[in-house]
Structure 1
């Protein structure tokens, strides 16, 4: 049986998961099949880390792509169907959620099995090919695979057989569940022409390319198509090639405890009914479905940002101001942005129960600004916050650069007094007080009376401070990854991360 392939020589890819080089044409069918069947997995022996260790560490790491239906930033705040669902699971088990964005050229299966993350949450269909390398949880969605045409092709073929006869190439990735379905159709002698592109291309970016006529057709899950069609012009739904595919999280094959806990969680939110009926979803899952696939404000503005949003920056409404102030103080503006996201989610009018105010939650008694009302001014507040952070960094200047920021962040959150207590406690336990992990452990001990009754500054909610530091550092890594994509695309004259779909 002979199948039709066409390979573009070059092209622009969406900055969300950008890569500009296309695959060269294969010289034989055997080479084509080797390419198409490969998930490019290199790490096949998973690390030993199951739910107990995740609980002890207090962090669940979620591997995902940067897209409107998985994880994205809107006005500096984190959103996404997968992000909110996994965050709910993490919260129920009292662990922090750390997002690991798949970078250019990175393989999610290798990232999972090497221990960079604990699950892949990316709207993944369970397929036999994927199950060779990872295990899957209980499903949390059912989707149909539909062909999506560009409106520029005229009258689109209405059936799968008509599509095969038309010779119109359907553009897709070789590691997608869509391609596996196409291979099944080939076995049934339905010769659909396929145009393979790099595995870094995601469904959303391919839909965009189809909407502007770069490609004639692609395949998408029906929920992703329906969400995209609300904000992308030029998309026409074609025939269904697969029905009721199960969407699930991927975990390591040896993470049976984690899978068990996730299955228990997902079963509370998604259950199959009798044949022919829609599955039963919890209210929470229905809300997420409405928000991300049926048209929420955040997703609409992700696709079609207003002029004011476009001017606000890629990460937050205050990118330009943060860069200016941080640069003048010699600080990394991405770290400052991450602190503000943690403190107030970029709300300049925020005020805490303790009296901390403004973007960076400045306590007036520690401020050099005498007029407290001025701390609600974004620039004044930002300069005060940066000044205080710099003081903490100077205070710990003798500490290794890797840990120095963690110490400064902890002091910013808990105060230098509690930090001094924690460091003394670390010494009492014969541990190096200049290593963050040791001090973090001591901060947790200061929540217990047997330790804090002998501490100079008394009780400390150490778990909050440890999480504060961990989440800021985690978000900082995400920001760096996003900006690396932005820089890459700027160098390649490709579209930017946000403000793109206008």
Structure 2
């Protein structure tokens, strides 16, 4: 009997009170995150699971590794969100069990190291012999992927004599192996190395080092949302079911899962045009939102999705028990055209209600913000009035409210040189271009200008145009129920403590925007670099780092303030994010010793994620950059470095240059992890190196020196030395594994 396909859509618990204040950041976690190696075996059925108080959800470390900036939803993320919702529905704490290798998920389930497997798992006869499966969550086709310019594979037989890489534990391997044995014996079947990320395999494909690989269609769709260096050559299989795995000895759990999925009768929405009002949205349990990837709306910071408008709309979705699905249109123009076409339910981007926009079939909510439009020039420019612009060109996007403002001024007789900026260029990029003297003049809302001024971009506002402008949420004009719900939310939260804290966090707190104050290296006590030298030495030695480098990093993170708290919620001396702290086993993030241990342990984890071919003396700089910006952004920079002809195994003057480019839309739109203010990690690494070198020069009686000659597993310790500079010491760094 054909089973109804259930699309994975999250039902979140409804929160009656929204807390966003940093003062509430110590509240109970809504999930636990545990590495597989730390999990105890337990094989109970659903009654025993309910008594334990938690549901252990086995998930892959992530397809591609690390969290990424969603443009088209990740099937794995969507699935584990639904699994978390199931747990909460039964008053259980979701515990995500992180498994590094896909092939280890089913064995982990069988041995009792988890209760369900959630990982885009294809249902096969061989797997059914080992575990039970839920009702299907999706149906996919397997696709053969090739590099974007490859035209040599048109039918399955073309795989003969081709280098095809897939994981030996995958269904793809089974199919290819059968094909190789029965039909096309010259298929060069290459086992994907254990631990290799999807991104790395796609890189090999793009570089021509392999000819093909195979992926499920829903995963292909996710990657095609930001990569254009591969394409689908052919379909490799018919329709296959995707489901969750459960131990055969847990029939009650399986029954509860199936009931939950079927009774929720969730409908698939991400592939269709839909223009229903709020009552139907609540039935679908998904709110589709259009946002731009920029510093004020939506961005990725140390693995956390952040942004003023993202947090606002996430709170709205959470309040109504909806899963938030964010879509990032390629340009500002599509922000509204996609909404009108029914690809999303609302658009938010500090949008000003205008007659031109309303004529598109759009209505606007009540204003959630009011801003002046500032005329922005280089800090050395002496412009006094818009009438005096002379030969200066004013650059703004045609789709922006700024363009309409300037057009109105033109209609009443004001003369100036108006130039259309690219639609994919953010206002913050235009401001930076003015600061770099690449553009003469632009317009910007106050909050966007404040961010760039806090980053010391050399610009200034010379005057404002008109009164403060309303900024509101854009909604299709027939969706009056949704308008009412959003207006109620705005009325409740605007000018509240929640709103004010959120606004301060992103726009008015210089500390939040420019995370660290600049500090000169001076007056250092030669016998004591920080109050925590002893514990820093202890854990730096344990994990194979120079303690002075960690101390320099600590200063850069917190200026040795154990109570430091960042705008994003990072805490303590090493500015650990709560989720990161959990992942490395740190429970008391407020305690200096635990914070230092967690920061160094996280550095060790990051370091191990980089290619072993990167020289030891270089890997430390990549690790620091990843600590600051996230491993994913550094990975994007390495990939871009190769495309630019730079050495992606060297940081300074090579990969750091690529990192800087990721703040430009033409590059970030093709990056898996999206936009990043590349100047921050670049400066972060350079400042730490500068301070580290100063520490070395000031304390030239200490050096890292190997005490083991086992080159496969060298161990380091501190000893005395004379006349060795900082780079020599970095070259001596040896790593524990």
With normalisation by structure 2, the TM-score equals 0.37
Q: Report how far residue 151 of structure 1 moved.
A: 2.5
What residue number does 1:476 align with? none
CA distance in 2, matches of 1:66, 1:185: 30
Cα displacement string for residues 225-245 of structure 1 (whole angstroms, at most 9, x for unaligned residues): 122211133101112113221
1:138 matches 2:366: yes
CA spacing shift, 1:113–1:191, aligned 2, 3 Å: same
- Helix, strand or coil for the counterpart of 1:178? helix
Counterparts of 1:256 and 1:169, CA distance in 2: 41
| 1:260 and 2:487 correspond | no
Tell me: CA distance 1:201–1:379, structure 2 relative to 1, closer, same or farther (3 Å).
closer
- Which residue of 510, 513, 516 corresponds with 1:299? 513
- Structure 1 residue 102: Cα displacement: 2.5
In 2, Cα distance between equivalents of 1:137 and 1:106: 20
Pairing partner for 1:245 from 469, 476, 488:
469
The answer to whether 1:205 aligns with 2:429 is: yes
Which residue of the partner structure matches residue 503 of structure 2? 289
> CA deviation digits over 1:362-406, x for unaligned, max 9?
xxxxxxxxxxx99x9669999xxxxxxxxxxxxxxxxxxxxxxxx
**Residues 90 and 97 in structure 1, CA contact (< 8 A), matched pair in contact too:** yes
Structure 1, unpaired ranges of 5+? 1-16, 20-45, 271-280, 312-340, 353-372, 383-478
Contact preservation (8 Å) 1:173, 1:198: yes
Match of 1:184 in 2: 408
CA distance in 2, matches of 1:381, 1:129: 52
Q: Deviations over 1:459-479 (max 9, x none)?
A: xxxxxxxxxxxxxxxxxxxx9
Contact 1:76 1:345 in 2 (8 A): no
Q: Does 1:58 align with 2:249?
A: no
Q: 1:146 Cα deviation (Å)?
A: 1.1
Question: Which of 171, 175, 198 is the aligned partner of 2:399?
Answer: 175
1:126 to 2:353 alignment: yes
Match of 1:71 in 2: 298
Whether the 8 Å contact between 2:511 and 2:517 is mirrored in structure 1 is: no
Matched, 1:82 2:318: no
Contact 2:353–2:470 (CA<8 Å) still a contact in 1?
yes
Which residue matches 1:116?
Answer: 343
Among 150, 163, 175, the residue aligned to 2:378 = 150
1:297: how far off?
Answer: 4.6
CA distance in 1, matches of 2:391, 2:311: 41
Greater helix content: 1
The residue correspondences of 1:310-329 to structure 2 (distance < 5 A) are none
Q: Which has the larger radius of gyration?
A: 2
Asked whether the 8 Å contact 2:376–2:444 carries over to 1, the reply is yes
State the 1:172 CA deviation.
Answer: 0.9
Do residues 348 (structure 1) and 572 (structure 2) align?
no
| SS in structure 2 of the partner of residue 130 of structure 1 | helix
- Structure 1 CA distance, aligned partners of 2:403 and 2:291? 20
Contact 1:60–1:95 under 8 Å retained in 2: yes
How far apart are residue 49 of structure 1 and its match?
A: 1.7
Q: For residues 118-137 of structure 1, what are the alpha-carbon distances to aligned partners after superposition, in whole Å with 9 as ceiling and x for unaligned? A: 21111111111111222211
What secondary structure, in the 3-state scheme, does the structure 1 residue paired with 2:370 have? strand
Structure (1/2) with the larger strand percentage:
2
CA deviation after TM superposition for structure 1 residue 191, in Å: 0.9
> Using the alignment, how far apart are the partners of 1:58 and 1:345 within structure 2?
31
Query: Is the 2:332–2:399 contact (alpha carbons within 8 Å) kept by the matching residues of 1?
Result: no
CA shift at 1:489, angstroms?
A: 9.3
Higher relative contact order (CA 8 A, sep 6+): 1
Give the SS at the match of 1:349: coil
Give the secondary-structure state (helix, strand or coil) at the position aligned to 1:224.
Answer: helix
Q: CA deviation at 1:302?
A: 11
> CA 1:52–1:188 in structure 2 vs 1: closer, same or farther (change >3 Å)?
same
Q: Indicate how the Cα distance of structure 1 residues 99 and 299 shifts in structure 2: closer, same or farther if over 3 A, else same.
A: farther
Mapping of residues 396-435 of structure 1, within 5 Å? none
The SS at the match of 2:283 is helix
Q: Give secondary structure in 1 for the equivalent of 2:355.
A: coil
Query: What does the per-residue CA deviation read over 1:242-270, in whole Å, with 9 as the maximum and x for residues that have no partner?
Result: 32210001112221111110011112233
Q: Is the 8 A contact 2:661 2:678 kept in 1?
A: no
* Matches of 1:100 and 1:486, distance apart in 2: 25
Does the Cα contact within 8 Å between 1:82 and 1:122 map onto a contact in 2? Answer: yes
Contact 1:60 1:118 in 2 (8 A): yes
1:133-158: per-residue Cα shift (whole Å, max 9, x none)? 222111101111110001244x22x1
Aligned to 2:385: 159
Q: Cα RMSD (Å) of the superposition?
A: 4.4
Asked if structure 1 preserves the Cα contact closer than 8 Å seen for 2:333 and 2:399, the reply is: no
1:209 to 1:483, Cα distance in 2 relative to 1, 3 A: farther
- Partner residue, 1:93: 320
User: C-alpha separation between the residues in 1 aligned to 2:283 and 2:437?
Assistant: 51
CA contact (8 A) 2:285 2:321 kept: yes
Contact 1:61 1:99 in 2 (8 A): yes
1:201 is paired with a residue whose SS is coil
In structure 1, distance between residues paired with 2:420 and 2:333: 18
Q: 1:193 aligns with which of 394, 397, 417?
A: 417
Q: CA deviation at 1:223?
A: 2.1
Q: Residues 105 and 295 from structure 1, CA distance in 2 versus in 1: closer, same or farther, beyond 3 angstroms?
A: closer
Give, in whole Å, the separation in 1 of the partners of 2:641 and 2:330: 13
Preserved contact between residue 352 and residue 470 of structure 2 (Cα < 8 Å): yes
Q: Give 3-state SS (helix, strand or coil) of 1:107's partner.
A: helix
Closer/same/farther in 2, CA of residues 284 and 110 from structure 1, 3 Å limit:
same
Deviation at 1:88, TM superposition (A): 1.5
Q: Compared with structure 1, are the counterparts of its residues 183 and 105 closer, same or farther at alpha carbon in structure 2 (3 Å cutoff)?
A: closer
- Distance in 2 between the 1:182 and 1:481 partners? 37
1:499 and 2:678 correspond: yes
